[in-house]
Each structure stands twice: as structure tokens, then as C-alpha cells.
């Protein structure tokens, strides 16, 4: 047998190699488990991020609508103030004219 060319591997070398491969596979399994956990956390974070984005978009839409209503109310209030001033002036004109006529009547000879 010693005349045959090649390498002789002992059982101890095979055992040690199998142990090394087993240890390496165990470390890889632990790393894959850790990677899977981190991936799940990333997915949950993505879901929460999407929910937060939707809530922010709804809040933005509500803020725009509220701003538009505020502007409309302010415009309506300004129009009412103009109408009120015009009404007061229109109501005072007959009194002013009557007063001027009365003054001119009493001042005439």
C-alpha cells in the first residue's frame, strides 16, 4: 500500500475538518438568524414609516383645507365690514341733508 501515489487522510484529520465545518455552519446560522431579526425590524420600521407618512399627508390636507376656510372667513368678514360701513353712511345721508336744509331754512331772511 505504501507504493500507491496520493495522500492519506487520517480519521482524526477528517473529524477535525468536520468539526471546523460544523462550527462555521453554526456561526453562519447565528449570523443568518441575526440578519433575519434585523430584516424583520427593518420591515416593521418601513410599515411605521408608511403609516407616519399617511398621517402627515392627512394632516397637511386638513391644514390646507383649514387655511382655505380661514381665508374665506376673513374675506367674508371684510365684506361684511364694508357693507356695514356703507349702510351706516347711507343711513346718515338723509340726516345730513335734512340738517343742511334746516340750517339753510333758518338762516334765510
What pLDDT shows up at residue 40? 96
- 92-109 per-position pLDDT tens digit: 999 899 999 989 888 877
Question: For 5-27, what is each residue's pLDDT tens digit?
Answer: 778 888 999 999 999 999 999 99
DSSP string, 2-45: TTS-S----HHHHHHHHHHHHHHHHHHHHHHHHHHHHHHHHHHH
pLDDT bucket at 2, cuts 50 / 70 / 90: low
Name the grid cell of 109. Answer: 331772511
Provide the pLDDT confidence category of residue 3 given band limits of 50, 70 and 90.
low
- Identify the residue whose cell numbers are 351706516: 88
Percent of the chain with pLDDT over 70: 95
Q: Is the pTM of this model over 0.85?
A: no
- What is the structure's pLDDT at 63? 97
Predicted pLDDT at 43:
95
pLDDT at residue 42 tops 70: yes
The CA-based dihedral angle spanning residues 91, 94, 97, 102, taken in that order and rounded to the nearest 10 degrees: -120
Amino acid at each position: 500500500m505504501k507504493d500507491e501515489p496520493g495522500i492519506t487522510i487520517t480519521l482524526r484529520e477528517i473529524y477535525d475538518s468536520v468539526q471546523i465545518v460544523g462550527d462555521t455552519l453554526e456561526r453562519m446560522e447565528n449570523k443568518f438568524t441575526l440578519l433575519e431579526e434585523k430584516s424583520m425590524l427593518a420591515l416593521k420600521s418601513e410599515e411605521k414609516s408608511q403609516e407616519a407618512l399617511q398621517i402627515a399627508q392627512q394632516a397637511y390636507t386638513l391644514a390646507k383645507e383649514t387655511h382655505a376656510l380661514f381665508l374665506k372667513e376673513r374675506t367674508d368678514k371684510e365684506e361684511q365690514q364694508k357693507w356695514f360701513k356703507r349702510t351706516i353712511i347711507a343711513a346718515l345721508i338723509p340726516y345730513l341733508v335734512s340738517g343742511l336744509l334746516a340750517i339753510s331754512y333758518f338762516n334765510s331772511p
